[in-house]
Amino acid sequence: MEGFDLTQPRFKAYILPNAPLEKLAEGFRWTEGPVWFGDRDELLFSDLPNNRVMRWSDSAGLSVYRAASDFENGHARDRQGRMLSCSHRGRRIHRSELDGSITSLVERYRGRRLNSPNDIVCKSDGTIWFSDPPYGIQTDYEGGKQDSELPAAVYRFDPRDGSLRVVADDFQGPNGLCFSHDERRLYIVETGLQFDTDPLQHVRVFDVGEDGGLSGGAVFCTIAPGNADGIRCDEHGNLWSSAGDGVHCIDPGGELVGKIRVPATVANLTFGGRNNSRLFLCASQALYAIYVNVRGAPLL
C-alpha cells in the first residue's frame, strides 16, 4: 500500500487506503505542540522559532492564534477545556483561561526556575504532568539562552492544592509524554543531550501508581530513523510516535506494527477531527493530516 509500511499484517486494519496524507499548511520554521479543540473544530499548534501559536480549521483555514507566544512548545487541554502550554522563554507552565487571559501555574521548583518545559499532558484526575529539559534555554532559536538552575526532570503538578513533585529525574532530555488509554502507564521520550554526537534516544514506560508516583521505567522501544519526539496512544493501547520518516505505530508490547510515510521529519502529532480519528502531524516546516481507522485514546 503506497505511503504505508505494513510491518505486521494487522496494521492494515488501522489505515484507510482511500484516505491520503494531506498537507494542510506550510511556510513555518518548525512546527510543534498540536492540540485539538473539538468544541471549536480547530487545531492549535506552535510555530516555535517564530514565537507564535497557529490556528487551523477545515472551515477557516490557517490563521495566527497568538503572536509573541513566549515561545510556547507543547500544549494540552485540562478537564475544564482550557489550554495548558509549555513556555520556553517564560520557563513556565501557563494556562489560557476561557476569557483569553493567561494564568501562570508553575515557574519554580524549590525556589529555582524551571528549564524550558517541553511537553505536557493532563490526567483524568486533573493533575498536570510535564517534561522539563534545557533545550529551549540552550539556544536563541527556540526561546533564548539562559542559565539552567535545575536538572532535567518530569514533574506532576496538582492544581487543586498547588503541589509540585518530581516523578522522574533519571533523564538527560525528557521530551514527549503520553498516558496509555487506561492511564495505567506513562510513556516518556528520552531525546538525550542536545549537542551530543551520539545522544541517548528511546521511549521508556512507567507504571502509574494510585498515589501519582511512577515505577518501572524500562526502555519500551527505540524509533529509527530519527527518534521519537511527540507521542500519542490510541483506544487499543498502541503508541503512535513521530519519527524521521513519518509516524510509527507501536503495539503495547513494544513491537513496531507499521508506519505512515511522511516526506518530512515529524516532530509531534495528535488525534482529532471527526470521532478523534484524524492524525494531525507537525512535520518540520508544514502541517499534515491523515484519517486513520482507529481513534485516539478517550478522556477517562
d(CA 168, CA 200): 16
Dihedrals phi, psi of 157, to nearest 5 degrees: -115, 130
First to last CA, the chain: 34
Q: Which three cell numbers stand for residue 8?
A: 505486521
Hey, is 156 helix, strand or coil? Answer: strand
Q: Which three cell numbers stand for residue 136?
A: 529551549
The answer to whether residues 70 and 87 touch, using CB atoms and an 8 Å cutoff, is yes
Q: Which three cell numbers stand for residue 266?
A: 515529524
d(CA 69, CA 154): 23
d(CA 98, CA 234): 28
d(CA 232, CA 144): 28
d(CA 173, CA 40): 34
Residue 118 marked ligand-binding: yes
229 is a catalytic site residue = yes
Q: What is the 3-state secondary structure (H, E, C) of 7-66?
A: CCHHHHHHCCCCCCCEEEEECCCCEEEEEEECCCCEEEEEEHHHCEEEEEECCCEEEEEE
> Closest Cα to residue 221, out of 245, 167, 195, 257?
257
Q: Which among 119, 132, 229, 234 is annotated as catalytic? A: 229
Give the CA-trace dihedral at 181, 156, 187, 144, to 10 degrees: 130
Residue 32 marked ligand-binding: yes
d(CA 54, CA 170): 33
Residue 175 marked ligand-binding: yes
Residue 18 marked ligand-binding: no
Radius of gyration of the chain (CA): 18
Binding residue numbers for a divalent metal cation: 32, 175, 229
Annotated binding site: 32, 118, 175, 229
Q: Which residues are annotated as a binding site for substrate?
A: 118
Question: Which residues are part of the catalytic machinery?
Answer: 229
